[in-house]
Structure 1
Amino acid sequence: MILHPQLEKDCVTVGRFPLSLLLLINDSNYPWFILVPQREHIREIHQLSEIDQQQLMHESSVLAECIEQAFNADKINIAALGNMVPQLHVHHIVRYTTDKSWPAPVWGNVPASPYSADDSNNLCIKMRLLLKEKQLQ
């Protein structure tokens, strides 16, 4: 499967679930992850097979639980918008009542603040370890 160029530009690959590629958005304002189902020409969740829909929901739930605990989130925002990137991808954004955009959506609210290479790498390692414990990596 080919990753959309915008996702390629904006993200770092964390790992792979059985169905989805796990990405980290390069914006340190929020811990922000994306699941991209590894299926060609899919724009909407309902276009996935029923088995893949169930797998995506499972992966999303496990990811949300992990990031909620790992980052002590006040809220996890989960969305599959696709307005800018038509390839099906599901955002998982850790939100805090004290973050720069609260309570508004994160899109376009404040400029992205890229991670340093070390911070990005450390965050990816942290997530791989957490997900390995859940036996998904």
Structure 2
Amino acid sequence: MSIFELDERLARDSELVAVLGLCQLRLLKDGRWPWLMLVPQRNGMTEIFDLQPLDQALLTFETNMVASALKKVTGATKINVAALGNIVRQLHVHIVARFEGDSNWPGPIWGFGQAAPYEQATKQEFITQLVEALSS
């Protein structure tokens, strides 16, 4: 098995929070929304159906686990889950907490405005709460 390689754009735009069973859990460097990403650690995958059936099931499980923890931590109105890959082909799943009245609600977050960096303390508190919610 070859060593997993993360697309340089995903690496640049996010930071590692945890490694789950299949995926890297990453936080996008955009504080406008609580925005997470799951990246299955399998090289050459571009679509969910490219994964082996067991990995598909694990991705679904990890997506639901992270989405549930994100909703618990944020109290979001809606959790958006998407695997687009139109620009970055490497398979990755976005999990975003949305709130009525947030930037661009109810429209999509992609291509809207400029990313706003997290304040360090806010980011660390969010990550701590998220990891705790994932552990419970």
TM-score w.r.t. length of structure 2: 0.93
CA distances 1:45-72 after superposition (whole Å, capped 9, x unpaired): 0000100000000000111111112101
> Is the aligned partner of 1:72 residue 2:75?
yes
> Is the aligned partner of 1:120 residue 2:117?
no
* 1:27 to partner: Cα distance: 0.6
What's 2:13 paired with? 10
Count of aligned pairs: 133
Query: 1 CA distance for matches of 2:30 and 2:38?
Result: 16
What is the Cα-based RMSD across aligned positions, in Å? 1.0
Query: 2 CA distance for matches of 1:43 and 1:121?
Result: 31
Query: 2 CA distance for matches of 1:120 and 1:12?
Result: 11
* 1:111 to partner: Cα distance: 1.3
Secondary structure of the equivalent of 2:38?
A: strand
Q: Which amino acid in 2 is paired with 1:60?
A: T
Unaligned runs of 5+ in 2: none
Query: 2 CA distance for matches of 1:37 and 1:104?
Result: 27
Query: 1 CA distance for matches of 2:68 and 2:100?
Result: 18
User: Which portions of structure 1, spanning 4 or more consecutive aligned residues, are displaced by more than 3 angstroms?
Assistant: none
TM-score w.r.t. length of structure 1: 0.93
What's 1:58 paired with? 61
Secondary structure of the equivalent of 1:84?
A: coil
Secondary structure of the equivalent of 1:22?
A: strand
Query: 2 CA distance for matches of 1:78 and 1:91?
Result: 6
Q: Which amino acid in 2 is paired with 1:17?
A: L
- Tell whether the 8 Å contact from 1:12 to 1:24 is kept in structure 2 after alignment: yes
> Is the aligned partner of 1:22 residue 2:25?
yes
What's 1:81 paired with? 84
Instruction: Report matched runs for 1:22-41 at 5 Å.
Output: 22-41=25-44
Q: Which amino acid in 1 is paired with 2:70?
A: I
CA distances 1:91-133 after superposition (whole Å, capped 9, x unpaired): 0000011101101100111211011233323322222221122
